[in-house]
Amino acid sequence: MAEIKVPELAESITEGTIARWVKKVGDPVEKGEFIVELETDKVNAEIISEEAGVLTQILAEEGDTVNVGQTIAIVEPAAGGAAPTPAPQAEPAKEEPKAEQPAQPAQPVQPQAQAAPVEETSAGGRIVASPAARRLAREKGIDLAAISPVDPQGRIRVQDVAAHAAQPAAPAQPAQPAQPKSPIATIDDSRVTVERMSRRRQTIAKRLLEVKQNTAMLTTFNEIDMTNVMELRKRKQEQFVKENGIKLGFMSFFTKAVVAALKKYPYVNAQIVGNEIHKFNFYDIGIAVSTEEGLVVPVVRDADRKNFAEIEKEIAELAQKAREKKLALSDLQGGTFTITNGGVFGSLMSTPIINGTQVAILGMHAIVNRPVAINGQVEIRPMMYVALSYDHRIIDGKDSVGFLKTVKELIENPEDLLLNS
């Protein structure tokens, strides 16, 4: 018998959510075969079986939160695990008509432990409960809908069932009608769709709120005339593609400009640790990428040591991995500064929220032709608003404005970037 346990993924990850079971109870399993997908705060992990055999038990349902080291399934050798699995499934239908064996009806209860979660969930709406809690509720004849869980996410545990069973019967009855009055439980209207937040969306929401609450965040703005960099890209694009096999985009220019500005203003490339300021002497730039499950920020390592082609290739590779859910935890850790580009979605101006423990983030926006004054004359130029959100606890207005002005000047004079790269 082999136990399938939640593996250690990283020091910062202690739990995950069962996203999808690839195998069902009774299915044959090969050694090294992918059997369940685990969703963590940052990436989805594929858990494999270390032994070949038959999947005989699933101990955590899809949607359940599981901890590192927790056993979530059992795989038994084919000779011992294949035979007993179908036997109890076939027996209930044949044994039901027999009245001579009163003890037999107790046997189908065990195989139903696998199917019960689906039946109870569909009958009770959005009820989520651990297998052990469901089993105890059935034994005690308790309706899961009548239980008030302690878990803020609404998941019912064994402790909730035991506590409910210990309550006196009389006071428990008035409490039951109050349950369906929850806005989510009584929604029957086709005009409203109720959707549970994924683990990753919950993590994003939690961390963004923490940043807002724990930093003195302020945003400063500027605008960049994109004329020169657009003309340079147009002149060099064909040669760049021929030599490097990838297009020359705007992100490499902004990454190089950000690195130059960080060298000039080191407090923007820093972190607050207790009462200390840790200024980084390396430049790992996070590039925000939008995926179906939310925003992720893979990191371009040592961006100061890479040329334009290397940066463009790495950004493209990381974005592809993000959309295919193939990012490793190492791809997401350790960034010192972040760039986010809302312009790809048409955003004209925004105030980006600082990423994690960093102290600043640069927001790029859409390029729009606008009238501007050039040497006393009004001209139509391709303009982009840029925003720098920063932690005012360690970055003063002088540094934040100077940083953004440096980025502006370098983008408006892209030859300077080429000379410095």
Residues known to be catalytic: 392, 396
d(C-alpha 314, C-alpha 396), whole Å: 32
| Token digits of residue 404 | 């953004």
CA atoms 89, 95, 96, 97: torsion sign = positive
3-state secondary structure (DSSP) of residue 143 = coil
**CB pairs under 8 A, 24+ apart, for 310-318?**
311/251, 311/252, 311/255, 311/256, 312/244, 312/246, 312/247, 312/248, 312/249, 312/251, 312/252, 313/244, 313/246, 315/249, 315/251, 315/252, 315/255, 315/287, 316/246, 318/287, 318/289
| Token digits of residue 279 | 């200024």
Q: Which amino acid is at 376?
A: G
3-state secondary structure (DSSP) of residue 9 = coil
The bridge status of strand 289-291 relative to strand 294-296 is: antiparallel
H or E element: which one contains 218? strand 217-225
| Token digits of residue 284 | 């790992």
Contact at 8 Å (CB) between 18 and 60? yes
For residue 48, which phi and psi values (nearest 5 degrees)? -110, 165
For residue 58, which phi and psi values (nearest 5 degrees)? -115, 120
Contact at 8 Å (CB) between 421 and 414? no
10 Å Cβ neighbour count for 228? 14
d(C-alpha 39, C-alpha 336), whole Å: 25
Which 3-state string (H, E, C) describes 62-126? CCCEEECCCEEEEEECHHHHCCCCHHHHHHHHHHCCCCCCCCHHHCCHHHHHHHHHHHHHHHCCC
Contact at 8 Å (CB) between 362 and 325? no
